[in-house]
Amino acid sequence: MKGVLKFAAVASLVLGLFTMSMAARAEHVQAETPWFSGVPLESLVKGPIGDSINSTIVLWGTSLSVNALSTSGPGQVTVKLTDYEFASPLKSLSMLVTDLNGFWKKIDGSTGADGLIFDLSGPANLFVAVFAQTDNKYVPGAYNLQASFSPVPLPAAAWLLLSGLGGLAAFRRKRLLDR
């Protein structure tokens, strides 16, 4: 009986911590997307999920655009956000990059020529949410979002090691066949 009570106590503690962390992430996403409070970020994704994004948005008033980016392994992700200042500069432009599991990167304004570059240690599904607002709802604004994933290539030393191991295996096999 004591074992069952101990298990129930530990399970409720873990569930409580998990629920609190999920609620904190949900509150952060809702704070970043005030017009869609309570709506899951996944349901706002536009277009197919791929390993690159290139989207130009022309808007009047306010706009929330959510795109998804899928990476297949370790590598670098580059995200560029540019205000075209079409007709006039945007009143506000902010971007949130997240994997919904603890990775958050928020930028206010354009990212510049190099953009935002970060390293990933493995496969990931990222969401890029852009919130933009024009100064006047009758004057358009435009911005461009570009995101791309570059896998980390195998270093030359790894290729040399693999070719050396392959050569040893071929040599051993030849030796066994000669007997």
- Kindly report the CATH number assigned to the domain that includes residue 134: 2.60.120.380
Residue 69 has pLDDT above 80, yes or no: yes
Q: Is residue 98 part of a domain?
A: yes
CA gap 59, 130 in Å, rounded: 12
> What percent of the chain is modeled with pLDDT above 90?
15
Residue 134 included in any domain: yes
Residues 71/126, Cβ–Cβ less than 8 Å: yes
For residue 27, name the pLDDT band (cuts at 50, 70, 90). Answer: very low
**Mean pLDDT computed over 6-35:** 42
Name the token pair of 61: 């008033």
Residue recorded with tokens 């896998």 = 151
| Between 83 and 111, the higher pLDDT residue | 83
As for how many domains the chain has, the answer is 1
- Residues 6 or more apart whose CB falls under 8 angstroms from that of 86 comprise 58, 140, 141, 142
What is the domain extent for residue 93?
41-152
Specify the pLDDT at position 146: 92
pTM for this structure? 0.63
The answer to whether position 109 is within a domain reads yes
In a domain? residue 163? no
Q: Does residue 89 lie in a domain region? A: yes
Percent of the chain with pLDDT strictly greater than 70: 71
**Domain membership flag for residue 128:** yes
Q: How much is the pLDDT for 132?
A: 92
List of residues 6+ apart from 146 with CB closer than 8 A: 52, 53, 54, 55, 78, 79, 80, 82, 115
Is residue 120, in this structure, part of any structural domain at all? yes
Lowest mean pLDDT, pick from 62-66, 109-113, 128-132: 109-113
Residue 28: how many other CB atoms lie within 10 Å: 15
CA distance 57 to 62: 11
